[in-house]
Every structure is written in structure tokens, then in C-alpha cells.
Amino acid sequence: DVKVTQSSRYLVKRTGEKVFLECVQDMDHENMFWYRQDPGLGLRLIYFSYDVKMKEKGDIPEGYSVSREKKERFSLILESASTNQTSMYLCASSFRRGYTDTQYFGPGTRLTVL
Amino acid sequence: DQQVKQNSPSLSVQEGRISILNCDYTNSMFDYFLWYKKYPAEGPTFLISISSIKDKNEDGRFTVFLNKSAKHLSLHIVPSQPGDSAVYFCAASEIQGAQKLVFGQGTRLTINP
């Protein structure tokens, strides 16, 4: 069974703080992703990574950065948190097999920025 | 620009009846489509997928239909059960491109006993 874990389920931070969200997967997947989920907007891709030390911008990268130093771990960094970054953050991983692009998601981190 | 659209934010269906969730897309390069199901306080879980070389894929109570000419897909659940109550997301990808998935806004399905 694939397991994707996220470091916190709930997080409350203040405006201007630096925030780290950690994600770990245990299935040796090459691909890892960070999304945010907001009502009426669905899941929007922030950043993704195909390999260690490799990253690609998603659809909404502004205000975020990422780090992938090890294959199993993908970190999302909010350099200076703002109230509009209050959201549910979801990490996912995938291993490409033929036509299967199935992504496996973690439970999410509900971040509130005050 | 929303490339994948789920125009119904919510749907209510009686237990035992058929649930039909709809999804439209605009990008003609999409050729692989997936449905995910999400319960509150959990991450989305993969439900069923379909490649553009097919027009139907079935897995138990779940069937996905793809109409490429209309750029439309639908998820049928029959019979609907109370445990099917969740938010359903449609997603699409370009096989030849990046591993990215583009998600719709989601439809909240409620199954009434």
C-alpha cells in the first residue's frame, strides 16, 4: 500500500512567518506534487518534482518554493506567509507505468495564516 | 482559465439510484482522464480512469464515459450507496507531456437514505 504522509494536519501561522510543509512517500515514486485546495477552485498545482533536486513550477507558484533533497521527501516553503495562503495543502506522489498517471495523496495540511 | 470544468457544485441522489457526475474540458491535448473521490479531512483517492482510445471503462459500480468530440466525460455510480457521499474531482493529463494533472472544481455528492 502506498503511503504519503504530511508533517502536520493543522497549522496556524502569523503573517510574515516562514512556513515549512513536509511530505514523505514510502513507495520509491519519482514524481511528487504540491497542490492547494480551495472551495470552488478544486485542486491547483503549486510545484512538482520528477527527481531529486529537480523542480518545476505548476500553475500557481507565486509565493512558494520547494525542496527535494531526497527521493522520498518533498518540502513546500512559504517564504513569508500571507493571509491569502490560508488553504488546504495536499501532497501527492506517482510512479509512471504505461498510461497510469495515478497520483496518491497525503491527508492534507489545513494551514491558517492570521 | 479553467481547462477542466465541473459545472455542478453539488448533487443529491437517493440511495439505490444512479448518480451521474459530469466533467467538461477545453484542452484538446488531454488524452487521459481520472476521477478522484475525497472524504472530509482526507486526501483524494483514485477511483477510475480512462484513456482517450476508449469511450467507456467500468469497474464494479463505477463507469466512466468519454465523448471526445464533445470534450465531455461522465462518471456513473450505480447503485448509489451512502458511503459514496463525498466530493468527486475530475482530472486530465497529456500523456506525452508532463506528469501534471489538471483538476476540476469538484462536485459534492450526497446520497440520501
The CA distance from B78 to B62, in Å, is 7
Residue of A nearest to B2 (CA): A41
What integer pLDDT is reported at residue A21 of this predicted model? 97
Burial (Cβ within 10 Å: 0-12, 13-18, ≥19) of residue A3: exposed
- Residues of chain B with pLDDT below 50 are 97
Cβ pair A100:B95 closer than 8 A: no
Q: Which residues of B touch A105 (CB under 8 A)?
A: 36, 43-45
- Residue B83, phi then psi, degrees to nearest 5: -70, -10
Average model confidence (pLDDT) across chain A: 91
What integer pLDDT is reported at residue A99 of this predicted model? 45
Cβ pair A42:B104 closer than 8 A: yes
What integer pLDDT is reported at residue A2 of this predicted model? 67
Q: How far is A46 from chain B (nearest CA, A)?
A: 11
Q: Which residues of A touch B91 (CB under 8 A)?
A: 43
CA angle B52–B54–B56, rounded 5-degree value: 120
Residue of A nearest to B42 (CA): A107
What integer pLDDT is reported at residue A80 of this predicted model? 96
Q: Give residue ranges of A with CB < 8 Å to any B CB.
A: 4, 9, 31, 33, 35, 40-45, 48, 50, 56, 58, 90, 92, 94, 96, 99-108
End-to-end CA distance of chain A: 37
| A103 vs B72, residue with greater confidence | B72
The CA distance from A78 to B21, in Å, is 35
Residue A97 has pLDDT above 50, yes or no: no
* Sign of CA pseudo-dihedral B93, A90, A93, A66: positive
- The 10s digit of each residue's pLDDT in A27-79 is 888 889 999 999 889 999 999 998 888 899 999 999 999 999 999 999 999 99
Q: Which residues of A touch B3 (CB under 8 A)?
A: none
Cβ pair A99:B95 closer than 8 A: yes
The CA distance from B84 to B20, in Å, is 12
| A97 vs B27, residue with greater confidence | B27
Number of residue pairs across A and B with CB atoms under 8 Å? 63
Cβ pair B99:A94 closer than 8 A: yes
The CA distance from A7 to A1, in Å, is 19
In angstroms, what CA-CA distances link A82 with A9, A48, B63?
Answer: 19, 22, 42
Would you state the cell numbers that stand for residue B82, as one nine-digit string?
451512502
The CA distance from A77 to A27, in Å, is 23
Share of chain A above pLDDT 90, in %: 76
3-state secondary structure (DSSP) of residue B57: strand
